[in-house]
């Protein structure tokens, strides 16, 4: 008797649940839905009055297309529609991981956004963009990282909002979920710097063993060319500590502040500090790149062989060192020799 009734109701229910479909073949399907746990009555979620737009977007999530609302939603003892009547069956990301593999599984640097959930980036139901993303391309990233391009000067690929050029999406195996390890992320596009490094006789420690972004900002900066701290673009400048903020973030300023020294720098003629002489001036103080190549250089001590200063002419610079003595052959003055042991008259 009882089982006959059950069969009857099941038949009745399934007839009702397919009815909307029969009425209009284009109508998306909705599975039968218990209005609320105590009600005992069943409806579909996708009637003309209720949630009619679900299932009609360009891209519809498979379980929504199936009308399978209850894989993610559950009812409570509150009447529906009404506050608190519908809950999620599980919190994110568990909700989505019922059916999907964790897209950051096994990655050394999973994206925090993925650890926290999925709907910050994906619509759970449907949308106008492939993969159900809430925004396309790098615009998606700016939803949460809106300040990434803050700065007077914005780096080309960031201006193009092409975050994928350097970063993974769900995570990655390199620090900061970068596509490549370390400087490889930069040298692919900046092969000119790679050439300087390959042809260098002396190399700059942070360039070869550190990261380009020890000195450069990868996204945007107040200082050209995308530097972490100020560094003069011009050839001459007045001496102020702030003008060499970048170099002095690692190097001791004292090599430039003492007119006389027996230790602050090796660039001295006995006690006359030649760094001070060239750099520490109220006007027309030379900047570091008057002598040094920051990414690597063809002579020891990061010394350049050609110095670009005025127009197109590159001043030749030859530095010959012999223990405590060295001689500079340059285009700007007669050859000059210095010695750390005793003063050489020039």
Window 119-158: residues binding ligand HEC (CB under 6 A): 119-122, 124-125, 130-133, 138, 140-141, 143-145, 148, 155-158
Report the nearest approach of ligand HEC to the CB of residue 185 (Å): 5
Q: Are 23 and 29 in contact (CB under 8 A)?
A: no
Task: Please state, in angstroms and rounded to a whole number, the distance separating the CA atoms of residues 85 and 101.
Answer: 29
Task: Please state, in angstroms and rounded to a whole number, the distance separating the CA atoms of residues 208 and 242.
Answer: 26
How buried is residue 73: exposed, middle or buried, by Cβ count under 10 Å (0-12/13-18/19+)? middle
Task: Considering the complex, state which of residue 45 and residue 75 has its C-beta at the smaller distance from ligand HEC.
Answer: 45
**Of 2-10, 34-42, 203-211, 308-316, which segment contacts ligand HEC by CB under 6 A?**
203-211
| 181 is a contact residue toward ligand HEC (CB under 6 A) | no
Cα torsion angle, 327, 330, 333, 335, sign: positive
Helix (H) or strand (E) holding 338: strand 336-339
Task: Please state, in angstroms and rounded to a whole number, the distance separating the CA atoms of residues 329 and 344.
Answer: 15
Task: Considering the complex, state which of residue 5 and residue 189 has its C-beta at the smaller distance from ligand HEC.
Answer: 189
Q: What Rg value do the Cα atoms of the chain yield, rounded?
A: 34
Site for ligand HEC in 214-243 (CB under 6 A): 214-216, 218-219, 225-226, 231
Helix (H) or strand (E) holding 148: none
Sole binder of ligand HEC in the list 80, 126, 200, 246 (CB under 6 A) = 246
How buried is residue 77: exposed, middle or buried, by Cβ count under 10 Å (0-12/13-18/19+)? exposed
| 106 is a contact residue toward ligand HEC (CB under 6 A) | no
Task: Considering the complex, state which of residue 14 and residue 209 has its C-beta at the smaller distance from ligand HEC.
Answer: 209
| 200 is a contact residue toward ligand HEC (CB under 6 A) | no
User: Which residues, at least 6 apart from 148, have a Cβ–Cβ distance to it below 8 Å?
Assistant: 141, 142, 158, 219, 220
Task: Considering the complex, state which of residue 8 and residue 159 has its C-beta at the smaller distance from ligand HEC.
Answer: 159
User: Which residues, at least 6 apart from 281, have a Cβ–Cβ distance to it below 8 Å?
Assistant: 238, 239
**Is the previous residue joined to 314 through a cis bond, with omega within 30 degrees of 0?**
no
| 257 is a contact residue toward ligand HEC (CB under 6 A) | no
Look-up of token digits 């409806």? 43
Task: Considering the complex, state which of residue 11 and residue 81 has its C-beta at the smaller distance from ligand HEC.
Answer: 81
Report the nearest approach of ligand HEC to the CB of residue 125 (Å): 6
**Of 10-18, 19-27, 34-42, 244-252, which segment contacts ligand HEC by CB under 6 A?**
244-252
Give the binding-site size for ligand HEC (rule: CB under 6 A): 116
Interaction pattern, residues 288-327, with ligand HEC; x per rule: CB under 6 A = xxxxx-xx----xxxx---------------x-x----x-
DSSP state of 168: -
| 281 is a contact residue toward ligand HEC (CB under 6 A) | no
Site for ligand HEC in 47-86 (CB under 6 A): 51, 54, 59, 61-64, 67-69, 71-73
Sole binder of ligand HEC in the list 212, 223, 269, 304 (CB under 6 A) = 212
Q: Are 143 and 134 in contact (CB under 8 A)?
A: yes
Report the nearest approach of ligand HEC to the CB of residue 3 (Å): 31
The three-state secondary structure class of 227 is strand
Task: Considering the complex, state which of residue 30 and residue 258 has its C-beta at the smaller distance from ligand HEC.
Answer: 30
Task: Considering the complex, state which of residue 1 and residue 23 has its C-beta at the smaller distance from ligand HEC.
Answer: 23
């Amino acid at each position: 008797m009882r089982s006959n009734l059950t069969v009857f109701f099941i038949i009745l229910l399934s007839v009702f649940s397919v009815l909307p479909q029969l009425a209009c073949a284009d109508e998306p399907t909705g599975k039968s839905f218990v209005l609320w746990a105590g009600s005992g009555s069943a409806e579909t979620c996708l009637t003309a009055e209720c949630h009619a737009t679900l299932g009609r977007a360009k891209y519809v999530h498979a379980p929504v297309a199936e009308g399978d609302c209850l894989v993610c939603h559950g009812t409570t003892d509150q009447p529906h529609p009404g506050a608190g009547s519908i809950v999620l069956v599980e919190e994110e990301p568990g909700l989505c991981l019922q059916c999907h593999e964790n897209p950051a599984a096994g990655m050394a640097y999973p994206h925090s956004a993925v650890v926290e959930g999925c709907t910050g980036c994906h619509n759970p139901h449907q949308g106008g963009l492939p993969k159900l993303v809430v925004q396309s391309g790098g615009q998606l990233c700016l939803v949460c990282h809106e300040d990434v391009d803050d700065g007077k000067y914005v780096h080309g690929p960031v201006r193009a909002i092409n975050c994928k050029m350097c970063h993974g999406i769900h995570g990655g195996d390199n620090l900061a979920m970068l596509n490549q390890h370390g400087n490889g992320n930069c040298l692919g596009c900046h092969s000119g710097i790679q050439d300087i490094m390959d042809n260098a006789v002396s190399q700059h420690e942070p360039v070869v063993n550190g990261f380009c972004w020890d000195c450069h900002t990868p996204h945007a900066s107040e200082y050209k060319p995308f530097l972490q701290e100020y560094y003069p673009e011009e050839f001459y400048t007045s001496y102020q500590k702030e003008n060499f903020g970048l170099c002095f973030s690692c190097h001791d300023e004292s090599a430039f502040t003492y007119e006389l020294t027996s230790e602050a720098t090796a660039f001295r003629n006995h006690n006359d500090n030649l760094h001070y002489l060239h750099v520490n001036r109220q006007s027309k103080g030379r900047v570091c790149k008057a002598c040094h190549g920051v990414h690597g250089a063809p002579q020891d001590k990061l010394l350049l062989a050609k110095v670009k200063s005025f127009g197109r002419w590159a001043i030749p610079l030859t530095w010959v060192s012999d223990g405590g003595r060295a001689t500079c052959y340059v285009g700007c003055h007669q050859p000059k020799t210095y010695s750390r042991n005793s003063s050489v008259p020039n």
